[in-house]
Structure 1
């Protein structure tokens, strides 16, 4: 487990629960290094004094608030703490609400809360209270130099604190051109709605988070290995011709698209006959020699084993590299991409 980010207490009425806060998520994005394209050397960044242009070491850096142009009030970590000692050390529960009353738009970043020394019993009391009441606790907490609204949620045996956005941090959607129910240009027929519901029903399944993974990252890593195999590590690929965009104003036959989607969804038999068949017609049994409806161009959501996931980038890279033979006189090719930095 990572080091705790914060130590303090949950204030629950007159009860104080000592807790430690830990990150609940980790990033797995591609770690790309910026290079100078003239010689492919890594680019570095310096902290420098804007008056003297001299580089500044970390020990000489302090924080300041600009109260007027070019004038600053220096604020040390101790100043920030003394501004409100209780706020910086307490997750203060303000109210309890139903979880479904907080829209997803307000949710921000989750953290695990673990009981501090001597806090096991009161921690368990709050956890079981949240579970039994079916509520979440709405609280204030200061992390670093920002006060957050937060939700305390019971997830299994762990109390999770998720920071929330304040109402004034949510941008209004008034200026967006959103179709309103009943408008002519967004009118939906009963047939279209019925078929869309049938498609949703056919694609419904239990939530299994392990079956979803970053396939784009795997594809990029496969491309990295392919470039290494072909000695193209310094080749800059230029943009190709863009695909033609469909002409604006084309009338979309939703019924045909929905029928094709229903017939092409994984594990289902396509409907027989024309794609413009009426929605309330019962699909006939498909004969063995009949050709299946074309599947939409998207990745199947079927889960893959952990071994298959790990091997996929190397298999794709090997397949892509087969047609091109590498010269025997070329230098040895590494078998695996290494991080640039």
Structure 2
């Protein structure tokens, strides 16, 4: 067993250093939620409902919602400021008869183990509880929650049982029980006889959890018949995250290219190359420097030579790099 708490029992001027161990545990068969189709484990992630993003444990605080719908956020630092005198001490308040503690108040049970140096005061407290047939009412804080508890002896071990606070116990409000019901003496005698016929000493070991037993047998039968499957390998988070980054990067690059093209079209719309002329409209004379400088710029050049010159000049312009065209235009 692993100790979950370490402190001391304080009664009067006596301190007993002890360690606390959970005394109970569930025997249920541990089952996981899986995908029916492929057996993959179902996982739950802590996600913020506002932005839909996963939240790290270190970024999670506690919140209290007021009646007006306002939220009060409480951090770890806020909780550290709260007084918790019993965080490392089991404070004995009084000793009461054991039969005065209503079983409905009982919660979890823990074993108290003394330090080696505290064996004698531990035995002293244990003997006093047994001799007086009383239990010690105490206060203790476990996992930042203060609770009432009782100390009693079980098999030479001091046991701590946490209690509910009085306001945590609900009242039974059943109007039907307020009605007067007449029970005849003969009926009461017969019921008492039935109780006596089933009377005995309580021995919990004679009872069995039939459901858990049947479930274990069912699982064993499936294993022996080969009705199993290897669990699927979970995808690596780094790979999935990296793939998402690649997709996002490609999308961002694509948008950047489209934006750049659109901006270039708006800024250099006058530099757009006209359609390349066909061979029938291009003449050898149109490729001469003389025709380019004079025929293309002459308003009176309405003949074929002027037409061919303009077309040839436009073709060469479209074949030049965009940077050279912009430098020429400037």
Shift of 1:194: 1.7
Matched with 1:196 is: 191
- Structure 1 regions of 5+ residues with no counterpart? 230-331
Deviation track 1:148-171 (CA, whole Å, cap 9, x = no partner) reads 110111112111000011111110
Aligned residues: 229
Shift of 1:337: 11
Question: TM-score, structure 1 length as denominator?
Answer: 0.60
Give me the whole-angstrom Cα distance separating, in 2, the residues matched to 1:338 and 1:97. Answer: 57
> Is the aligned partner of 1:16 residue 2:11?
no
Shift in alpha-carbon separation, 1:142–1:41, aligned structure 2, 3 A: same
SS of the equivalent of 1:86 reads: coil
**Structure (1 or 2) with the larger CA radius of gyration:** 2
Matched with 2:157 is: 158
Equivalent residues of 1:81, 1:88 under 8 A apart: no
Shift in alpha-carbon separation, 1:221–1:196, aligned structure 2, 3 A: same
Structure with greater contact order relative to length (CA < 8 Å, sep ≥ 6): 1
Give me the whole-angstrom Cα distance separating, in 2, the residues matched to 1:334 and 1:38. Answer: 18
Give me the whole-angstrom Cα distance separating, in 2, the residues matched to 1:157 and 1:120. Answer: 12
- Structure 2 regions of 5+ residues with no counterpart? 233-330
Shift of 1:176: 5.2
Matched with 2:62 is: 64
Deviation track 1:150-204 (CA, whole Å, cap 9, x = no partner) reads 0111112111000011111110113453266xx23xx222222222222222222
Alignment RMSD: 2.9
Matched with 1:333 is: 225
Equivalent residues of 2:84, 2:141 under 8 A apart: no
Question: TM-score, structure 2 length as denominator?
Answer: 0.62
Matched with 1:149 is: 148
Equivalent residues of 2:91, 2:140 under 8 A apart: yes
